[in-house]
Amino acid sequence: MSFPMRPAREGPEPVDEPSHNEHPALQPAVTDVPVTPGVHLSGHSAYTNPTNSQQDSALPFDPDTAAPGPSWSANSYFTPRQEDRASSPTEAAAGATSGEDLLRKLSGVQDPSTAYKQDLADVDPRAAHPELNLSGRLISATFAVPYNIAYAPGQDFDLLPRRGTSALFDSFSYLASSSSPWNHTLVGWTGEIRKKTTEEVDAALQPSGNKAAAPVPIDGAPPPAPPQEQGLRIGREDRGRLEKQLECDRGGKIVPVWLPDEWDEKNDEVILKDQGRWRTYAEHELYTLCHYKQNEPADGRAARKSWADYYRMSKLYADRILELYKPGDIVIVHDFYLFLLPSLLRQRLPNIYVGFFLHVPFPSSEFYRCLSRRKEILEGVLGANMVGFQSYSYSRHFSSCCTRILGFDSSSAGVDAYGAHVAVDVFPIGINAASTQKQAFEDPVIEEKIKAIKDMYPDKKIIIGRDRLDAARGVLQKLQAFELFLERYPEWRGKVVLVQVTSPSSIHADKKANDDEKMMNKLSDLVARINGVYGSLSFTPVRHFPQYLEREEYFALLRLADVGLITSVRDGMNTTSLEYVISQKDNCGPLILSEFSGTAGSLSGAIHINPFDFSGVAEAINNALTMPLEQRKKDYQKLYEHVISNNVQAWCNNFLKRLMTNLSSFDQSFATPALDRAKLLQQYRDSKKRLFMFDYDGTLTPIVKDPGQAIPSDRVTRTLKTLAADPANSVWIISGRDQAFLDEWMGHITELGLSAEHGSFMRHPATSDWENLTETTDMSWRSEAAEIFQHYADKTPGSFVETKKIALTWHYRLADPEWGAFQARECQKHLENTIGKKYDVEVMTGKANLEVRPRFVNKGEIAKRLVEEYGAEPPEFVLCLGDDFTDEDMFRSLRQSELAKDHVFSVTVGASSKQTLASWHLLEPSDVISCISLLNGSADAGNVGAIAVVDGGPVPEARI
């Protein structure tokens, strides 16, 4: 369908936490040992061991007058350069002359020679888009603040830089700096707060000394956290102290989200016990799925429990953001930890501006459909105005899932959902190229490291690999391919060494205690086998270092490497490849890159490989080592120009400008958010007089080919009977069906009220008599209407006419879809031009049917009548659900009533992208029954999150 146009006015990897694995190779004493001689503890990149030393940073503005970016990533930036981008993937693909050109265009990679032209949106977004009434404020929501936090009562919190997600943190640094036109606020969970050790507390109480000079022990390992059997209790004063530290002491404003296990209201204290619970669902279920892995079968109780925590966490995020929100703010939500947040924000503020960006892969629909909460995740993301991905394939998978699972229309440009258009686009994230280049080439210590490494591997070709200890990183495949390379190309034996650095995994939620140990054992065995077969006393072909690297060592290895080898089996944006390109400015070393990495679509100058094809990888290694210098320079120039021009600053600007363009292009005021079940449950519990009005077909039961087969399931009848049994509830089914059908299938539930033929007849609860509301109506139009309907039924095989007491309906659901729709349009014109002008009747279009009925008969009149029966004491809770055009009359009637808006829940049902008068949206009849079950006290898998929010704590084990 088409949407109203606005008038022309114009990941990161999961957040890292300290691991406690018993494998000797993973202990801090091993992982923090430098690869090369001479420990040097100064500044770090995304993959280096963090310290508190200050980085020298030359900003492209006056640092004395400009507000600096946050000190956790105070980086400088190149002069902005970015290419002109198409407004959608469809437009971007136009003009492609080859498969490679198509991939380049769809991945947002254009000719590097295209100059970046700074436009008004880069300088003053409010002036560029006055119709949006922007405030100039930008709120970024990420899973955790950029610090590991330690706490002691009455003291300042210790804030130590958090490992990982460098590109994401660099983007926040840019947005918080004076180079950005935005007033930026970062919202994130505090992360697992640990209690300070006795030594740390004593050190903080010393009258002198520089705490920041040595925030961690000299070996780089974080102090062991003392046991927390009773949990941490943090009072209002201490929470305010942390919030003040994050807001005022770090350059960019950071607002923490508190996720307590319990809340001591009497003492105003948050109680933190099982802090890791908040990452469990995201890391155990979503991260696994996004990387095409599956968990072992289980009874589902743990998944339901973690889902409740995930939903509750998202609600607390929404609450925190809405405390900060002002009209005209833009909210950007990052990554799989916060899939639900866009929809939760949309439920509270229907016209809020929200963008979402996923930093990890998005799986194909065939794999994604294995997720038990698949609908809720997609609905959560579709609360955004625009959804961004690392590569075109990920965006295509998402759109396909929305169509195959939710039933929404989609294209390469976006998804038509809930009465609005949700744009879907591709934004490959970059790195802070200027800062990376500065770090790689302007530290004299790195030169010393390079010399030391060359002395260790004289006259050897060096292949560098750096990965997390994660099966998705493809380290096992890399080693197996390298082994095959040495077997097939014996001339390289003794002449090439693979330096593989494997840092601890960033995933810890619900991990088995020995998972990392098992993988490390596999790697160790494989390394030992390769070195045993192809090594000697004087030469080791594989040097494996299971540890974090110091910044100097990391860049030294990247600079002197002859080949970069990345064999991820699934990956979002691999920033190691981008940092390798920057570091190879003098060497022009080839980059071998997995085609399954999100970076592959952007880096056309790399050698793309399938990591599962060991022969192909071995051949690629040989080709890279033997590549002529001129070819290396040519390929490298393409890589370098891309990384320089598509830096993290350009990524931020591209994403925000595209979001604003979409907001300007499409009127979002017609969007209908998914039903807020927590709000529904809370209002239900708070009310004493409740009114329910349900349509039947497409609402309580699915639409079927033969209307006579649309019989209610046992679950539907039991759920309705339980709901109607509550004396505070008045439950009505208001249907286009005739009396006989409703009597047969719903009449045995005596507590139900029934209305047949769109409000023509009523049967009140506890009676069997029907009241005819149209007995004085002129029905002389029926014979002429029946003749017209029969004419089209004869011309449309599979169609038939249904005669009701008040209305006539022509059904063409069993006819050929295209021919039936065409004949329906012709029949509608015929009816409107004949009896529609002679009689007081209306021609109503339904789902594969046309109906003629008296004009004054509609469901809205019944809804109005039922509300008025309450007199001076109106119902405190109204739930009205319907799926069809005829149900809009009920929604309109409720809008025109004087009922409190917060007491009325009008809900349209179905995957249609129609614009509706309803305030909320549900996807299908099973969701309707689930919501009714929630009100009846059921805690099924789809409802545990809402129950956790309303109850303000974990769902009891007995209810899961």
- Per residue in 63-94, pLDDT tens? 334 344 444 443 332 233 333 444 444 444 45
Q: What is the mean pLDDT of residues 920-946?
A: 90
Q: For 1-39, what is each residue's pLDDT tens digit?
A: 444 444 443 344 444 444 444 444 445 444 444 443 333
Query: How far apart, in whole angstroms, are the C-alpha atoms of residue 498 and residue 580?
Result: 15
Sheet arrangement for strand 771-772? 771-772, 761-763, 753-756, 729-734, 690-694, 877-882, 904-909, 920-922
Considering the entire predicted model, what is its pTM? 0.80
pLDDT of the residue at 560: 93
Q: Are 690 and 728 in contact (CB under 8 A)?
A: yes
Q: For 703-733, what is each residue's pLDDT tens digit?
A: 887 777 888 999 999 999 999 999 999 999 9
Backbone angles phi, psi at 714, to 5 degrees: -60, -35
pLDDT of the residue at 930: 94
Q: Are 368 and 401 in contact (CB under 8 A)?
A: yes
Q: What is the mean pLDDT of residues 200-229?
A: 47
Q: For 487-529, what is each residue's pLDDT tens digit?
A: 999 999 999 999 999 887 666 655 555 666 778 888 889 999 9
Three-state SS across 582-635?
HHCCCCCCCEEEECCCCCCCCCCCCEEECCCCHHHHHHHHHHHHHCCHHHHHHH
Least confident of 9-23, 224-238, 856-870: 9-23
Query: How far apart, in whole angstroms, are the C-alpha atoms of residue 465 and residue 554?
Result: 11
Please provide the DSSP assignment of 558-572 as one string: HHH-SEEEE--SS-S
Q: How far is CA 225 from CA 19, 271, 279, in A?
A: 12, 17, 19
Query: How far apart, in whole angstroms, are the C-alpha atoms of residue 453 and residue 447?
Result: 10
Q: What is the mean pLDDT of residues 535-564?
A: 90
pLDDT of the residue at 30: 43
Structure tokens at 81: 């350069």
Query: What percentage of the chain reaches a pLDDT higher than 90?
Result: 57
pLDDT of the residue at 467: 86
Task: Please identify every residue annotated as catalytic.
Answer: 695
Structure tokens at 299: 């009874």
pLDDT of the residue at 692: 98
pLDDT of the residue at 712: 92
Q: What is the mean pLDDT of residues 907-919?
A: 85
Q: For 438-490, what is each residue's pLDDT tens digit?
A: 999 999 999 999 999 988 888 899 999 998 888 788 899 999 999 999 999 99
Q: What is the mean pLDDT of residues 948-954?
A: 85
Mean residue pLDDT of the chain comes to 83
Among 727, 691, 683, 685, smallest CA distance to 870 is for 691
Structure tokens at 96: 């492609």
Structure tokens at 429: 């994230």
pLDDT of the residue at 772: 86
- In this model, does residue 209 exceed pLDDT 80? no
Question: Greater confidence, 630 or 41?
Answer: 630
Please provide the DSSP assignment of 686-736 as one string: H-SSEEEEE-SBTTTB---SSGGG-PPPHHHHHHHHHHHHSTTEEEEEE-S
Most confident range (mean pLDDT) of 167-171, 205-209, 746-750, 756-760 is: 746-750
Q: Are strands 232-235 and 269-272 parallel, antiparallel or unpaired?
A: antiparallel
pLDDT of the residue at 58: 36
Most confident range (mean pLDDT) of 438-442, 524-528, 679-683, 754-758 is: 679-683
Question: Greater confidence, 784 or 548?
Answer: 784
Q: Are 408 and 416 in contact (CB under 8 A)?
A: yes
Q: For 239-288, what is each residue's pLDDT tens digit?
A: 999 999 998 756 579 999 999 988 888 889 999 998 989 999 999 999 99
pLDDT of the residue at 204: 62
pLDDT of the residue at 94: 53
Other Cβ atoms less than 10 A from the Cβ of 515: the count is 16
Query: How far apart, in whole angstroms, are the C-alpha atoms of residue 297 and residue 5?
Result: 48
Q: What is the mean pLDDT of residues 100-113?
A: 42
